[in-house]
Amino acid sequence: MSEGTDNALLERFEQEVWSKVPHLEEGSETKVVNATPLVDMTADFKECAKSVFKLDLDNADLKVFGKMDSTLLTGSIKVRPAANIIHDAIVTGKLKSGQTVIEATSGNFGIALGLLSKLGLNVIALVSRKLQEGVFEELRNGNTRTIDLDMDICPAPGMEGKQ
């Protein structure tokens, strides 16, 4: 930890966010905390192979598991990098209570950062006019201030220039 670490913010962050997202803790041994649940999807996979691709895998010796990121805080995998970036910023003293985090987002990363508003940090999401209304609602529910830049700031690959 840095000398400039906001320990009160770090404690709130670790209780409210860090303790609820998958991460590594290093000590005498490294361990995974809050591993994302895996679900056995073998039967569904075999059925899909049969109905969609006309492949009979009934006797195939295989197991297929799905990682259920939808169970994560905010329901998106984007909470992982957001939590790690913010944790590092707090630990190193770069982020302190009352400061503002600004992020250009097309949705999920901004929603994940919106968790910070509950910790006394301000979050501003720079968004595209093309953002779906449901995403706007989720950002606002997290007390994230949105600024519409009236441009497509986070175009999906292959969608550049398409209206």
Is the entire prediction scored with pTM above 0.75? no
Instruction: Give pLDDT, residue 153.
Output: 63
Q: How many CA atoms lie within 13 A of 61 on its CB side?
A: 0
Instruction: Give pLDDT, residue 85.
Output: 92
| All structural domains of the chain | 7-22+72-148 (3.40.50.1100), 38-71 (no CATH)
Average pLDDT per block of 10 residues along the chain, 163 residues long: 88 91 85 87 95 95 91 81 92 94 85 83 84 76 80 60 51
Instruction: Give pLDDT, residue 42.
Output: 96
Helices 7-16 + 79-91 axis angle, to 10: 160
